[in-house]
Amino acid sequence: MTIVLADEVALLGLVFARIGAAVMILPIFGENYVLSRARLILALTLSVLLAPLIAPTLAPVTAVDAAYVGRIVTEIIHGLFLGSFVRLAVVALSIAGGAVAMQMGFAAANFFNPAEAQQSSVTGNLFTIAGFAGLLAVDGHHMMLRGLVASYDALPADGSLAAGDMAAAMARGSADAVALGLQMALPMTAAALVIYALMGMMNRLVPTLQVIFVALPAQLLLGLGLLGLTVAGVVHLFIGFVHDLNLLLGA
């Protein structure tokens, strides 16, 4: 069965397939606390606005047939990949927050994280909120939209699925996200090692002293102070990582 459509409507469908799928997952745009209807309206609006820029790179389509449906499915997969790829930056924040919470003694203090739709450490929530605020402050949402437009050069909308390239990019991005998360937590980890070493020395020098009752408040106070000093650096690394991920997409 073949349905004849205007070229503009058919091309808009291709653009919306990729943009809509990506917007549902991208950081800030695709958070669970953003209404699904609002995300849908945003995706449709962006598709209409970006279609004139993207249309020249697309092959003309005049009918809805099996080939067109295949291109739509491919574009949805591309959009899901793009959104998931950039969201790796949020994974780095979660890893850093979990590591910092463990060193500060907040490992059991978990709260619901709307960005991940699951329980997360209190420091992970702090890093996520601060990271999103910093990203908006430097127009990071505009950077992500430019990345979506530039993705048509890296992933052409010609119906082909670059599964190998996407898998390689996702593997590289995941490794970088884990490394960045550990890097963000490095100052707190180093401070915790110093505190544990001092606790061991005090326990040896003054065996009758209840070191645990003295060290835990000091560990908490030092952790809060160091956390206040390092949040800005964590946000800076997060924004830089989002920028690097968009560069890999050609933005």
Quote the pLDDT of residue 5. Answer: 53
111 close to 122: Cβ distance less than 8 angstroms: yes
Tell me how far apart the alpha carbons of residues 114 and 33 are, in angstroms, rounded to a whole number.
6
100 close to 123: Cβ distance less than 8 angstroms: yes
28: alpha, beta or left, given left = phi > 0 and alpha = psi -120 to 50? left
Beta bridge partners, 63, equal 4
Quote the pLDDT of residue 4. Answer: 46
Quote the pLDDT of residue 115. Answer: 57
Low-confidence ranges of the chain (pLDDT < 50): 1-4
Quote the pLDDT of residue 2. Answer: 47
Tell me the residue range of the domain where 32 lies: 3-248
Q: Percent of the chain beyond pLDDT 90? A: 26
Quote the pLDDT of residue 1. Answer: 43
Quote the pLDDT of residue 108. Answer: 62
Quote the pLDDT of residue 92. Answer: 92
Tell me how far apart the alpha carbons of residues 2 and 146 are, in angstroms, rounded to a whole number.
34
Question: How many structural domains comprise the chain?
Answer: 1
